[in-house]
């Protein structure tokens, strides 16, 4: 995954990490910044000025979290990597979207070694009956 291709904003990082403000401030301190005591008022300017440091700190925190879980980058994830709280979202070009669990995929006969991203090319849409038009994403559990 190329460095330049990753475009996170801090809100997304907080979403991914499930951060509350206490933890968010720890990340800010880790970035060499002052704790964000009034986030609503200061966040925009603060992040604009210190985005790189904050993103790096959050990325480090995320990497640590990645190391502590089975979570993998989506391109490498297999069905077997999915826990009971993970949801695979399959969105067809027609707009039809389904949320599937690993258990549901197993029931449908998908082998655990299958890469999650491969599902998009293999699944047939229940709405438009077309195959291979779906985009796959994962909602990782917390």
The residue among 50 and 96 lying less far from Zn ion, judged by its C-beta, is 96
Distance in Å, CB of 103 to Zn ion, minimum: 23
User: From the list 29, 49, 127, 141, which residue makes contact with Zn ion (rule: CB under 5 A)?
Assistant: 127
Return d(Cα 138, Cα 88) in angstroms, integer: 5
The residue among 15 and 127 lying less far from Zn ion, judged by its C-beta, is 127
Tokens of 120: 């998009």
The residue among 33 and 98 lying less far from Zn ion, judged by its C-beta, is 98
The residue among 84 and 95 lying less far from Zn ion, judged by its C-beta, is 95
- Residue 25 CB-density burial (10 A; 0-12 exposed, 13-18 middle, 19+ buried): middle
- Residue 85 CB-density burial (10 A; 0-12 exposed, 13-18 middle, 19+ buried): exposed
* Cβ–Cβ under 8 Å, residues 130 and 91: no
Q: Does 59 bind Zn ion (CB under 5 A)?
A: no
Q: Interface residues for Zn ion in 77-106 (CB under 5 A)?
A: 92, 94, 96
Q: Which residues bind Zn ion (CB under 5 A)?
A: 92, 94, 96, 125, 127-128
């Amino acid at each position: 995954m190329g460095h330049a291709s990753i475009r996170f904003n801090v809100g997304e990082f907080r979403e991914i990490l499930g951060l509350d403000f206490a933890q968010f401030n720890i990340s800010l301190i880790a970035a060499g910044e002052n704790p964000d005591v009034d986030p609503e008022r200061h966040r925009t300017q603060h992040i604009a000025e210190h985005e790189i440091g904050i993103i790096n700190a959050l990325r480090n925190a995320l990497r640590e979290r990645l190391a502590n879980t089975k979570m993998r980058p989506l391109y490498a994830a297999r069905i077997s990597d999915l826990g009971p709280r993970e949801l695979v979202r399959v969105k067809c070009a027609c707009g039809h979207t389904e949320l599937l669990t690993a258990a549901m995929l197993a029931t449908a006969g998908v082998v655990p070694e299958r890469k999650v991203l491969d599902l998009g090319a293999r699944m047939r849409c229940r709405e438009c009956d077309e195959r291979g038009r779906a985009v796959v994403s994962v909602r990782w559990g917390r």
